[in-house]
Amino acid sequence: MKNFLNLILLGSMVSCTTIHFRSQNSVPVSFDGNPKHQKEVSIIGHRSFYFWGLDPDVHEVFVDQEVKKAGYDGISKVIIYEQKNPQDILISFLTFGLYLPRGYTITGFTSGGAMNHEFEDESVKK
């Protein structure tokens, strides 16, 4: 029984969690700078894995969709961080690796203008 518990603890510490960051080009996303982008922003997200990181095999995060969902019309100088904060590590430990939350932060610069074209369309219809 002791060996089984050690195996579970070891499995929770060396899990296989993979997050792929992609773009569908719905808004401009660039690793290069844009002189029009002066406002620094951070977009924080989480994904959940189960059974020592085996389910799902891979999570896909579409950076452009996350930027659009946050209300920005584009982002440049993009940096993506994946992190395990102490709370996530504690949850993984307490659940013996059956639940593995993973966080990420997308940082970059934007013009600061929210996408207003969706709101303008509604006002035209009235």
Condensed to tens digits (0 to 9), the pLDDT of residues 70-123 reads 888 888 888 899 888 888 888 888 988 888 888 899 988 988 655 544 433 333
What pTM value is reported for the model? 0.69
The tokens for 104 are: 């990420």
Evaluate if residue 5 carries a pLDDT over 70.
Answer: no
Least confident range from 35-39, 46-50, 59-63, 117-121: namely: 117-121
Segments of 70-111 assigned E as strands: 76-83, 99-110
Q: Are strands 39-50 and 76-83 parallel, antiparallel or unpaired?
A: unpaired
Identify the pLDDT of residue 123.
35
